[in-house]
Amino acid sequence: MGLFRTIGLVILLVLSGCKKGYTEKEIVPKADEIVQSFSVTETNKGKPIWKIAAREAKEFEKKNIIELSDVTLIFYDSTGGIISTLKADSGTVFTRNNNLASSGNVRVTSMQGDLFTQHLYWDSKREKIWTPDTIRYIKGNEKYDGIGLESDPDLHHIIIKEKFKGRGKTEEWK
């Protein structure tokens, strides 16, 4: 009889503590601004360095971030020509330094080849893309896999950090 009384008491305490459930509005911070079809271009002396576009952008001023969905980031060379395009399911722009974290089906396409990963970061100050995650790089018939990567945005100077394997002309990478 004591076991049933204990179970009943626990159920009563649990139910009485559930006066009000949390709603999504209470849990998810509210964006200061929401923009559909978002687009921003970073320039230097009138020439584009990069352009970011997203289906939707949510700005959180206190956190100094902008959360993006369906992200496209285009990188330009010094003459204004496109050198690569990054696409991802989502991303976060850190407004204090213009760095970017992208995630979900990330793909970078350039004349050098195509890079695939799940998370990729843009370091604006160093002008490098990088990831600690697994990657796949495809250049024509050549295919390379590894863990961790650092590169310039046009995928010309790639460093794969660990577990490098693949087939192709690795001499070009030295």
Residue 22 inside a domain? The answer is no
131, 148 Cβ separation under 8 angstroms = yes
Give the sign of the dihedral formed by CA 134, CA 140, CA 141, CA 142.
negative
Domain holding 49, by residue range, is 30-131
The predicted pLDDT at position 169 comes to: 61
**20 CB neighbour count, 10 Å cutoff:** 6
Q: How many helices (H) and strands (E) does the chain have?
A: 2, 9
CA distances from 65 to 85, 86, 123, 129, 169 (A): 22, 19, 15, 19, 41
Q: Note whether residue 146 is domain-resident.
A: no
Would strands 142-151 and 128-139 be described as parallel, antiparallel, or unpaired?
antiparallel
Sheet holding 65-76, edge to edge: 33-44, 47-60, 65-76, 82-94, 99-110, 114-123, 128-139, 142-151, 158-167
Query: Residue 66 domain-assigned?
Result: yes
pTM confidence score: 0.77
The runs of H, that is alpha helices, within the chain are 2-17, 24-27
Query: pLDDT tens track of the chain, all 174 residues?
Result: 454 454 444 444 444 444 555 554 555 668 788 889 999 998 888 899 899 999 999 999 999 999 999 999 999 998 899 999 999 999 999 999 989 999 999 999 999 899 999 999 999 899 999 999 999 999 988 899 999 999 999 998 888 887 777 666 654 444
In a domain, 156, yes or no: no
Asked if residue 137 belongs to a domain, the reply is no
Q: Residue 163: its pLDDT value, please?
A: 77
**Residue 19 counted as domain residue:** no
**pLDDT for residue 5:** 53
In a domain, 11, yes or no: no
Split into its structural domains, the chain has a count of 1
Q: What phi and psi values does residue 124 have, to the nearest 5 degrees? A: -65, -40
The residues pairing with 173 across neighbouring beta strands, listed in sequence order, are none
Instruction: Note whether residue 91 is domain-resident.
Output: yes
- CA–CA separation, 154 and 113 (whole Å): 9
CATH of the domain at 40: 2.60.450.10
